[in-house]
A and B are shown apart, each in its own frame.
Chain A
């Protein structure tokens, strides 16, 4: 027989050693919920969380002064009540006593002051400063012109007063966001930049283990100050591939699955899973944006002609399999407390005449899309509708990062994008997207400018009554839909399918409503 040479034997041994290394069972733990994430969360530090995944996990680890309830109202969280003075410009929060961080220390008003100042501090370099920069003195503090934020005042151990530069309607909504969660200073000092992987909060769950790109494990916090979790913990399994996640779900290794697009019709028609599908109308708007700052789409008439050329109802019923509701304007119906704007409707003849009349026929137009297959298919549908109206659309498909840079810099004539609510207020679908101070990466990527709209949005933000606010927003939305800086497509509905063993599971329109305390087996 041949004797394997020493080097080969060594190699085989090494290989075997590595194969056996790190063996772990990884099977289901009793009493734990199993969810899927398609990517590892970048961070769990509230100062840096900018995505829905990070936000929804943070909601289970931390608390703020206030939170959203199921009907999207702002309700007490750590603050048990609050007073409003000067038309909502001055807010005094009275904190619950006995709320503790996961390290055992009690939360006081000082912790909120520290957490808010940390977001605003220049050295933190948080992308979320906009959540809190309306507090009096915040801008000066951010620039380093002041050593403290004048508008954050600790009145006593359990009383915090926040003063804004001027009254701002959605401010209470902003306080429900991830960036406004309270964190303990001593843990941040201890871990520094690594606080993102050693989060410590007051929430119903505590981070137990985080094997990056594999599994994130939370366990229930037995000392949580409000309704405690009914499960022992939550495991977020990181599974990038949709079909793999479907297999895991069907094998019972996952309890909840956001239904992938390609599997939607199979699940919805299935007798086995049909009864366990839940849906939530999302707070989002999908749109085809125009670059309003240059020819040819600096002309509202041509933009309207494009809108008339596309049969959105038909695309929704066929291509999109009715997974949403048709958008009448930028504001989702769930948030619109006024009558919807008039519907423009599909009218290819009128569209063709307008394009011809404007001399735009045969003009080459760049439509930028990202590398998602569904988006590319949709772009081809749009292209064919616009060809019928005499417009020559060239699709430019870019990978996400390049795509984002291109549309932020205004390179595209048209682009396909969606906007998802940060907080449930119509203002979130008007100010960042259509106010002229937000051109480019701040949200107004169509570079739409209308001084009247600016003034109406600002009046809505500063309104003291709901009626006044709604009237201003309604008028702003009316002008916007009429001038059509976007073609408004739809509001997407989210669908999930859950295991039959699960009780009280539902999905919510905003990522941070679900604290994970209601669901049980």
Chain B
């Protein structure tokens, strides 16, 4: 489906590959070279045959193997996504918990307003503001580049902000719901310490929807945070795919879609596994501890 959609798009990679001064012979030569003279079906079959051999082809422009490039870029994207999640998840849950436990107070209202703001700001704006403050003014972090932890903080923070906001809201809602449940009263009556009630009883039960959202967010980061990666010059899958799309570099586009689909499915699988651990009711067979 992606294959035929892509071919139906207007635009032709051959013209960009051929430069500004290409005679019709050169154009035909290049088109033939990339198989553009064959029917869409024949091109598709060719691609599938290549895939079966574990090859994703070579980029039309760089002539480099798409798989090699993906193997460089995918770990970068995973690092960025993981870092963003490591910031967003604990902070979001913590904020949500504070909001829920102090519901209907001024703290709750202020934090709610902040989280709505966090949800609504676009990443290109928050990214540039963070860069302005942390790089240009405070000079604590490099504004762009792909590398170690210091390069990772800015893009991860930018990516984490909206996720943090949405997680705090979801945590708040589900914690508030649980707070009124009979088993919490029971726990209090048993004389269990408040901290343990909050962590073991409330939080654990409130986590299911949070994990769902976190999983979805993580999956979407893996398929590429195009804007964030572009602003901070991060060499990830999103930027790679975007450049491929702009130049109609079909092997690159297909390779990226394939890899992100696989990672999305794997992420969902991982989230399903996590559900079973968080909520024993979801387990089939085995003991409930």
Report A's interface with B, CB cutoff 8 A.
Answer: 1-2, 5-8, 11-12, 14-16, 18-27, 39-40, 42-43, 45, 48, 50-51, 122, 125, 127-130, 193-194, 196-197, 211-215, 237-241, 243-244, 247-248, 250-251, 253, 398-406, 408, 419-420, 422, 432, 438, 440-443
Q: Which residue of A7, A24, A42, A238 is within 8 Å of B233 (Cβ)?
A: A238
- A43 and B235 contact, CB distance less than 8 A: no
* A7 in contact with B246 given A244-B143, A244-B233 (CB within 8 Å): no
Residue B259 is within 8 A (CB to CB) of chain A in the complex: no
B residues in contact with A7, CB < 8 Å: 270, 273-274, 277
Cβ of B196 to closest chain A Cβ, rounded Å: 8
CB under 8 Å from chain A, chain B span 129-171 = 131-132, 135-136, 139, 142-149, 151-152
Min distance, Cβ A267 to any Cβ of chain B, angstroms: 15
CB–CB B139/A251 < 8 A:
yes
20 A-B residue pairs with Cβ-Cβ distance under 8 Å, sorted by A, are: A1-B199, A5-B278, A15-B85, A21-B79, A23-B149, A50-B18, A130-B22, A194-B63, A212-B62, A212-B69, A213-B235, A213-B240, A214-B145, A214-B146, A214-B147, A247-B131, A404-B15, A406-B10, A422-B21, A442-B22
User: In whole angstroms, what is the CA distance A1 to B73 when docked?
Assistant: 38
Q: Assuming the A-B contacts A42-B61, A244-B233, are A23 and B21 also in contact, with contact meaning beta carbons closer than 8 angstroms in the complex?
A: no
Given known A-B contacts A25-B147, A401-B247, A406-B10, A419 and B20 have beta carbons under 8 A apart: yes
Bound Cα distance from A11 to B82, whole angstroms: 9
Known contacts A48-B63, A127-B17, A129-B26; A239/B12 CB under 8 A: no
Q: A50-B20, A239-B233, A400-B246 are in contact. Are A22 and B69 (CB under 8 A)?
A: no
Q: Are B235 and A402 in contact (CB under 8 A)?
A: no
**A211 & B146 in contact (Cβ 8 Å cutoff):** yes
Asked, given contacts A127-B26, A193-B63, whether A26 binds B15 with beta carbons under 8 Å apart, the answer is: no
- Main SS of chain B's interface residues? helix
Q: Please name all residues of chain A whose beta carbon is closer than 8 Å to the beta carbon of B86 when the two chains form the complex.
A: 12, 15-16, 19
Most chain A beta-carbon neighbours within 10 Å: one of B19, B136, B151, B230: B19
Show the binding face of B for A, using Cβ within 8 Å.
Answer: 9-13, 15-24, 26-27, 29-30, 33, 58, 61-64, 69, 72-73, 75-76, 78-79, 82-83, 85-86, 128, 131-132, 135-136, 139, 142-149, 151-152, 196, 199-200, 203-204, 230-233, 235, 239-240, 243, 246-248, 270, 273-274, 277-278
Could you say which of B9, B12, B16, B82 contacts A18, with CB atoms under 8 Å apart?
B82
If A18-B75, A19-B86, A125-B33 touch, whether A196 touches B62 (CB-CB below 8 Å) is yes
Check A441/B232 contact, CB under 8 A, given A19-B86, A400-B246, A401-B248.
no
Q: Are B239 and A125 in contact (CB under 8 A)?
A: no
**Residue A399 contacts which of B12, B64, B246 (CB distance < 8 angstroms)?**
B246
- Closest residue on chain A to residue B144 by CB atoms: A244
- What residues on A are CB-neighbors of B200 within 8 Å? 1-2
B135 x A442 contact (CB < 8 A):
no
**How far, in angstroms, from A21 to B278 measured CA to CA in the complex?**
29
Contact check, A43 vs B21: say whether CB atoms are below 8 A apart. Answer: no
In the bound assembly, the distance between CA atoms of A50 and B145 in angstroms comes to 26
List residues of chain A with CB within 8 A of the CB of B204.
2
A194 touches B11 (CB 8 A): no
Contact of A24 among B10, B27, B148 (CB under 8 A): B148
Interface-central residue, A2, A129, A215, by most chain B CB under 10 Å: A2
Q: Is the CB of A128 within 8 A of B19?
A: yes
Choose from A22, A241, A247, A441 the contact partner of B147 (Cβ within 8 Å).
A22
Docked-complex contact A251 and B136, CB < 8 angstroms: yes
Q: How far is the CA of A45 from the CA of B63 in the complex (A)?
A: 10
User: Is A432 in contact with B13, judged by CB distance below 8 angstroms?
Assistant: no
Q: Check if B85 sits within 8 Å of A212, measured CB to CB.
A: no
Find chain B residues with CB under 8 A from A404 CB: 11-12, 15-16
Residue of A with least CB distance to B124: A241
Which residues of A have CB within 8 Å of B247?
Answer: 401
Quick one: closest A residue to B236, CB to CB? A213
